[in-house]
Structure 1
Amino acid sequence: MFAVVRTGGKQYRVAAGDKIAVEKLAGEAGDTITLGDVLLAGEGDTLSDAGKVTVSAEIIAQAKSEKVVVFKKRRRHNYRRKNGHRQMMTLLRITDVGTGGAKKAAPKKAEEKKAAPTKDSSEEKAAPKAKKAAPKKAAATKAAPAKKAPAKKAAAKKTESKK
């Protein structure tokens, strides 16, 4: 079975046993992660529901990619700049592509919901403070254009008096 996953702003076609290099992901060598953003899944010529498919991978190593040289030059102006950049990347080994991981992910969400009410109550207390601050900013922005308008009219009167 294969899947197309999105990570680090790029898309990768993966199958069990594949090794890929992706943008840096959190974790150490030996950790197992789940790539959640599955765009497409299938086996052979048939496609299956991508929402039910999970992709699990093992982190092989955290490394740097090859150096990219950035060279800027303006001819006849004695201007040359040479810089290099090595992007951090994570090497992954795809361990499983299938629907079995979706059932394991559901209990984790239930645990998060149990812990969430304590966080929600603190967020609700912080939210009214933010709402009160917003009208004050709006009032200040309305007052500022009113001050600018009389200044323009006064400048126009001075030019007429000079004639």
Structure 2
Amino acid sequence: MNYAIVNIQGKQLKLTENKYVYVPHISINLKEKIFLNEVLFFYEDGSIKIGDPFLKDVNVQVKILEHIKGKKIIIFKKKRRKGYKVKNGFRPFLTKIQVISIKIKNGS
């Protein structure tokens, strides 16, 4: 089983082929295929490649499946003995992607 650790908008995610994952919102149309080239780590059949900071010869191809809103996150602030309480919340925008392939460029 090969996998890659990829940086997507400041989040580091472990991606495996043919798996679905929710990532921070990517503003690209549905059903479009893109390449992620900020690969930090790559593992394949016992061999390991570590980027410095990124691997230039590894690309991860993903397909955009849907754009959704995540579960509500509650932010609660309070200062004791002062009567100060604030409750806020928001639902983050997420993108569901499917990893199609993890490719190594020729020559390595």
Q: Could you tell me the TM-score, scaled by structure 1's length?
A: 0.56
| Structure with the largest fraction of strand | 2
Aligned to 1:37: 38
User: What's the offset of the Cα at 1:51?
Assistant: 2.0
How do 1:6-155 residues align onto structure 2 when only pairs under 5 Å count? 6-48=7-49, 50-99=55-104, 102=105
The share of aligned pairs that are identical, in percent, is 27
Task: Answer 1 or 2: which has greater helix percent.
Answer: 1
How big is the shift at 1:75? 3.0
Letter in 2 for 1:20: V
Identify unmatched segments of 5+ residues in structure 1: 104-163
Amino acid at match of 1:63: I
Distance 1:75 1:3 in 2: 45
Residue of structure 2 equivalent to 1:145 = none
Scaled by the length of structure 2, the TM-score of the pair is 0.82
Show structure 2 runs of 5+ residues with no match.
none
3-state DSSP of counterpart to 2:56: helix
Letter in 1 for 2:99: I
Which structure has the bigger radius of gyration?
A: 1
1:82-112 deviation digits (Å, cap 9, x = unpaired)? 100111111110001112xx47xxxxxxxxx
Matches of 1:81 and 1:5 in 2, distance apart? 36
AA in 1 matched with 2:86 = R
Partners of 1:11 and 1:2 lie apart in 2 by: 13
What is the distance in 1 between the residues matched to 2:13 and 2:81? 44
- How many Å separate the matches in 2 of 1:60 and 1:44? 29
| 1:28–1:62 CA contact under 8 A, matched in 2 | no
